[in-house]
Amino acid sequence: MEKILDIIEAIAHEKNISKEHALDAFKEALVNTAKKLTSFTSHFEIIINNDTKTYTINKVITVVADNDRQLFTKVGKEPNIREIESDSFISISEAKDFDDSIEIGDALKEEFILEDHGRTASANLFKELEYHVQRRIEQDLFEKYREKVGSVMLGTVNRVDDENNTHVEIGELKGIMSQRNRIKGESYKRGDSIRALLRYVSVDPEYGLFLELTRTSPKFLEALMATEVPEIDDGLVEIVGSARIPGERAKIALKTEQMNIDPIGAAVGVKGVRINAVSNELNHENIDCIDFSPIPEVFITRALSPAITQSIKVIADEKKAIVNITGDQKAKAIGRSGINIRLASMLTGYTIELNEVEGVTERQTDSSSPEVTKTKDTTALADLFK
């Protein structure tokens, strides 16, 4: 086993793990093998000599006081627990029989020769090394994909099980997208390509190390926008927040510090090519792009679009907004099945309460002028002259 370190380096290269992780796995395998051949309460240290490519196993025995409880260790299970003499500690009086200069806390080291235990040691070492190398491979994969949490993953559908969980092959690992993380109306079959957001990396007794994927998270919408809109990816346009009813409608708030960039125009693209690409990926989900404002009243007004509000009163302590709106705009503010007001509330973080006021808001256009919004309600103007 003298040149076993060369074998460890070869294993690291073959399994695509770092040399350091392979050596850590080797050290753990040596310690566990030595414990199996002696006692599980024993303490061992491993010394690696990189120059000679050899290793040394030392059994470590710590010197303690004569009455120290560590001299005995409990073994067995209730009710058959018993105490036996520990082989990891030695009393000071017994240690001084070997050397008068020994003091409490010193560590006595005795070399443990693994080769002296024959084939049993070799078989145990092989099993332990295989186990710990596999753990290091999984640890490296876990760290690799944990850094990608929140990013869009591309994979191939392997199967859909009886519980409608979609199993996806992604690189070295498998991803699982549950039915609740799938957009309503979507269906997949074996061989389909799929894009989804990596929600988190997990270890499960049934699936082992796997990736949980989602297509319903607002973060998936934001990640798709970043891939389609260079200004967002470059940080010139910032996504302040987003809200979704998956497969139906979404609102996304944008802002920029660049005076020469229109955040809404950049997100929509020429003839809507960018926003349409995102919408198509989300099963034709309607996406409203909103210009963010730090002023709550303005932001809430924009979030309730296409409805036109009359006035807004914000109660900051309660995170509540009371919106005055005319009867003809109330249905637009609420939206089908309440979807518009729900999204506006999720996007702004305010509970929105609609208060119907008298008046009619009309949109009138003619061939010679741009669209003009007129209202017969003058209460908003009166506030300006108070």
Q: Give the model confidence (pLDDT) of 6-19 as tens digits.
A: 888 888 888 888 88
Q: Per CATH, which fold does 4-145 belong to?
A: N Utilization Substance Protein A; Chain:P; domain 4 (3.30.1480)
CA angle, residues 79, 81, 83, in degrees to nearest 5:
160
Q: Looking at the domain covering 149-214, what would its CATH class be?
A: mainly beta
Classify domain 294-386 by CATH architecture.
2-Layer Sandwich (3.30)
Q: What CATH number labels 217-292?
A: 3.30.300.20
Q: What is the mean pLDDT of residues 250-269?
A: 94
Fold match flag (217-292 vs 294-386): yes
Say how far apart CA 18 and CA 144 lie, in whole Å: 13
pLDDT of residue 70: 80
Percent of the chain with pLDDT over 70: 90
- E-strand ranges in 39-182 read 43-49, 54-64, 72-75, 82-85, 89-91, 107-111, 152-160, 166-170, 173-177
Averaged pLDDT score across all residues of the chain: 86
Q: For residue 79, is the peptide bond before it cis, meaning its omega torsion is within 30 degrees of 0?
A: yes
pLDDT tens for 65-93 read: 888 888 877 766 777 676 667 778 888 88
Closest alpha carbon to 66 in 85, 50, 90, 84: 90
pLDDT computed for residue 378 by the predictor: 52
Q: 321: Cβ–Cβ under 8 A, 6 or more apart, which residues?
A: 296, 297, 300, 312, 313, 314, 315, 348, 350, 351, 352, 353
Which pLDDT belongs to residue 295?
A: 94
Residue ranges of domains in the chain: 4-145, 149-214, 217-292, 294-386
Q: Computed from CA positions of residues 61, 64, 69, 71, in that sequence, does the dihedral angle turn out positive or negative?
A: positive
Contact between 218 and 181 (Cβ < 8 Å): no
